[in-house]
Amino acid sequence: MNPLTKLSRALMHEIRTLRGAFYRRLYVSSDDEQGIVDQFHRLYFDARAFNMTWRNTFWMGHAILKCPLDLWIYQELIVELKPAVIVECGTAFGGSALYLASICDMVGQGKVVTVDVEHRDGRPEHPRITYLTGSSTRDETFDRVLQETAGCDGPIVVILDSDHRKPHVLAELHRYAAIVSPGSYLIVEDTNLNGHPIEPDFGPGPAEAVEEFLASAPGFTVDRSREKLYLTFNAGGYLKKAPSA
């Protein structure tokens, strides 16, 4: 690369960095920034009591119980990784499975294997979606997931959004980490519970499970770049598997 071009790019990077810092300081100091995000996070989450925000969000007419900013990150991950399989633990109404399948349609690759303890009528049908009924941590359920992912030609992404109590999430982490492809993601949803910053009385949940898991899973690291949109229900939960893991 031409030395002048390299210098020009470096200067533009510095300018963008300084400009971003300047605009942030116009409105809020760095000490207050996280407090403002947390305050909005609580407002956004608790609005569910009035059937607002994430309890009143739909994809193609199907309820999808997630923060739209996290869904945007999922879209970016699918485009980047082009996964062969996305395993979702926690189906609910099937809106998120349909969303993931729709993005797979757009990139022309991938299928969704979604697991839930409860069967619900009216879930969306899509050729890329496979519904499995059973606890995500039971041997027979996991064996069926292994059958669906066996021999796949491409990355495997796992999203955990079922029972949010720490023991269950930790069991899922230890079990499903093995099927995540090197360089791909194991995403733990709702790490915001138990005062992070919502529902402080929830008790140990996803965030605490992630903390314990990472202490004994050196092959995974938290990818904070996936929290770039400020509001996320999954802070600290975007776990990237090392390329050589």
- Say if residue 93's pLDDT is above 90: yes
- Say if residue 245's pLDDT is above 60: no
CB 113 within 8 A of CB 132: yes
Q: 219: closest CA among 173, 177, 179?
A: 177
In terms of Cβ atoms closer than 10 Å to its own Cβ (0-12, 13-18, 19+), residue 61 is exposed
Interstrand relation of 85-89 and 111-116 (parallel, antiparallel or unpaired): parallel
Q: What's the confidence (pLDDT) of residue 33?
A: 86
Q: What's the confidence (pLDDT) of residue 3?
A: 63
Q: What is the pLDDT of residues 186-223, one digit of tens each?
A: 999 999 999 999 999 999 999 999 999 999 988 999 99
Q: What is the pLDDT of residues 44-76, one digit of tens each?
A: 999 999 999 999 999 999 999 999 999 999 999
- What whole-number distance in Å separates Cα of residue 125 and Cα of residue 109? 17
- Strand, coil or helix: what is 70? helix
pLDDT classification of 95: cutoffs 50, 70, 90: very high
- Say if residue 160's pLDDT is above 90: yes
Q: What's the confidence (pLDDT) of residue 17?
A: 74
- Say if residue 27's pLDDT is above 80: no
Percentage of the chain exceeding pLDDT 70: 91
Q: What are the chain's domains? A: 50-241 (3.40.50.150)
- Strand, coil or helix: what is 159? strand
- Say if residue 24's pLDDT is above 70: no
Q: What is the largest CA-CA distance in the chain?
A: 63
Q: What's the confidence (pLDDT) of residue 210?
A: 98
pTM score, whole prediction? 0.88
pLDDT classification of 14: cutoffs 50, 70, 90: confident
Q: 92: closest CA among 190, 26, 211?
A: 190
- Say if residue 159's pLDDT is above 80: yes
Q: What's the confidence (pLDDT) of residue 84?
A: 98
Q: What is the pLDDT of residues 107-130, one digit of tens each?
A: 999 999 999 999 999 999 999 999
**Which alpha helices (DSSP H) does 28-125 contain, by range?**
30-46, 68-81, 95-107
pLDDT classification of 161: cutoffs 50, 70, 90: very high
Q: What's the confidence (pLDDT) of residue 9?
A: 75
Among 9-13, 27-31, 106-110, 192-196, the range scoring the smallest mean pLDDT is 27-31
- Say if residue 7's pLDDT is above 90: no
